[in-house]
Amino acid sequence: MAKLLILKKRKDFVRAAKGLKVVTPSLILQAAQSLCVPDDCCRFGFTATKKLGKAHIRNRTKRRMRAAVRDVFYDNALSGTDYVLIGRYKTATVDFMALKSDLLYALSKINKMITEKKEPHSDEADLHPTD
């Protein structure tokens, strides 16, 4: 179980945007390896743009994403990773269980991409013979 910290700096959000991304019907999850977080922590941030609607809709969107994170991330987050959740039009109105299942799906898919990216491919070793 990783300890959760909050992303606050713009440069961290931009770095996560350049990393991996998974899109679901109710949210978008971006992730990148963290540069400055201890190994037992992960950081997360939330974004809801003005395209979603007025302030009360954006606030509801972020509240629902934070609540879903509290339920899902503790068991499934990778240590040393920065995650950014981006709200979509459906985030404020979708059923909460559907939001959690979308988040769990996106998190498992992005974690799989991160772990595959870390592991060296065995095919590369076969390309360079040692004779």
Q: Identify the top-confidence range among 4-8, 50-54, 119-123, 127-131.
A: 50-54
Exposed e or buried b per residue across 90-114, where buried means at least 16 C-beta atoms within 10 angstroms of its C-beta: bbbebeeeebbebbbebbeebbeeb
Residue 41 and residue 129: Cα distance in Å, rounded? 40
| pTM of the entire predicted model | 0.81
Judged by average pLDDT, the poorest of 103-107, 108-112, 117-121 is 117-121
Query: What CATH number should be reported for the domain holding residue 77?
Result: 3.30.230.10
Triad 66, 12, 75: Cα angle to 5°: 40
Domain that holds residue 63: 3-109
The answer to whether residue 57 sits within a structural domain is yes
Q: Identify the top-confidence range among 1-10, 19-28, 73-82, 118-127.
A: 19-28
Per the structure, how many domains does the chain have? 1
Residue-wise pLDDT for 44-54, tens only, equals: 899 999 999 99
The answer to whether residue 63 sits within a structural domain is yes
The answer to whether residue 118 sits within a structural domain is no
The answer to whether residue 32 sits within a structural domain is yes
